[in-house]
A and B are shown apart, each in its own frame.
Chain A
Amino acid sequence: MRDPVVEYSLRLADNCVILGQRLSEWCGHGPTLEEDIALSNIALDLIGQARMLYAYAAEREGEDRDEDQLAFLRDCREFRNILLVEQPNGDFGRTIMRQLLFSAFMHPFWQAMTGSRDETLAAIAAKAEKEMAYHLRHSAEWVIRLGDGTDESHRRCRNALEELWDYTGELFETDAIENALIGNGVAVDPASLREQWQKTVENVLAQATLTCPADGYMQTGGRQGLHSEHLGHILSEMQFLQRAYPGGTW
């Protein structure tokens, strides 16, 4: 069986790279120049985190693949990202709501990960934690202003929240591989972050005059490589250049 740390790093890396790619779709289309730059900044932070994780996975894997091959030459079914991050951008309210739900989890996640027994993952976490604190603040400030804004912005945020809520269950899922890593102090148990995540999100939503949806049926499958129809489209765009010109470099 393959090294569980490789699998774990790939799961984290895939989350980062797919959401980074999604956000970069806003580049040149942001609602204001300032926000265009902010979203691109956040996208770059995430892609930077993905690079470190891919590089580590590649090194541990020892199969002569590098970070580029892991990102650009794996197919849909091999991607291990959660479904939340591949959901379409929709309008700005939807994008920023997705960002809030993700960042509210990833900030305490990376904080906890700084205590990992795996030194590389702990070092990556130390860098990522600060970036996530900013992503969380940025998305929270926007959700508050849009939710508590006009009827139109409130309505759009509420719809986005209700649609995206079904994808948040996956944040807290674990499986045998992850449980083993949690057991030996390498991985973070997402269950231990649930209360904090819920509190952060509820607090922001309350200020935004929005209500937390009730937990209903939760979408799942990303960790097993079972994705929504959206991931293929993201990959076709993201991987085009490397597939058209294999091994191409700058």
Chain B
Amino acid sequence: MSDQTGSAGASAKTPPKTPLWEVFIRSRNGMAHRHAGSVHAADAEMALQAARDVYTRRGEGLSIWVVPSSAISASDPDDRDMLFEPATTKIYRHPTFYDLPEEVENM
């Protein structure tokens, strides 16, 4: 607290921002990188360090990607009906009514 006395007024309004990064971990060779969570870090190198410490302590990964959260464009939750609802009404997209031979697994 006392460290901020110099700019207490300004920092109250605009606290110093450390950018947020999204962390993607690949758990095994051949797998895709999957979103693991996020970290705060000043730059990409530090974000990798932080991601390693926070998300791979128990041997979860072989590879880490970090991406600035600001670089991600996300769909608007309000658009849910428009974007996702029609998919469930087109039953021909869900090949659940074919008879499959037993030899075919995991269809």
Contacts and interface: CB of A to CB of B under 8 A. Distances in A.
B16 to A, nearest CB: 10
- For B6, B18, B42, the residue with the greatest tally of chain A CB atoms inside 10 Å of its CB is B42
B49 A37 contact: no
Contact of A38 (B18, B42, B45, B53): B53
A137 B49 contact: yes
B100 to A, nearest CB: 48
Contact of A41 (B40, B42, B46, B53): B53
- Please classify the interface of chain A as helix (H, G, I), strand (E, B), loop, or mixed, using the class held by over half of its residues: helix
Contacts of A145: 42-43, 46
B18 A32 contact: yes
A38 B50 contact: yes
Interface in B31-53: 39-43, 45-46, 49-50, 52-53
A229 interface: no
Contacts of B50: 34-35, 37-38
A116 B5 CA distance: 53
Nearest to B49: A138
A127 B51 CA distance: 22
A134 B57 CA distance: 13
Contacts of A137: 49
Nearest to A149: B42
B54 A141 contact: no
Nearest to B53: A38
6 contacts: A33-B40, A35-B50, A38-B49, A38-B50, A141-B49, A152-B6
Interface of A: 32-35, 37-38, 41, 134, 137-138, 141-142, 145, 152
Interface of B: 6, 18, 39-43, 45-46, 49-50, 52-54, 57
Nearest to A156: B3
Contact of B40 (A32, A141, A142): A32
Contacts of B39: 34
B41 A141 contact: no
Contacts of B57: 37, 41
A34 B45 contact: no
Contact of B54 (A37, A134, A138, A152): A37
B35 to A, nearest CB: 17
B42 A34 contact: no
A141 B53 contact: no
Contacts of A142: 46
- For B6, B39, B40, B50, the residue with the greatest tally of chain A CB atoms inside 10 Å of its CB is B50
Nearest to B18: A32
Contacts of B6: 152
Nearest to A138: B49
Contacts of B43: 145
Contacts of A34: 39-41, 50, 53-54
A167 B46 CA distance: 28
A32 B17 CA distance: 12
A-B pairs, 8 with minimum CB distance = A34-B50, A38-B53, A37-B53, A34-B39, A41-B53, A37-B54, A138-B49, A141-B45
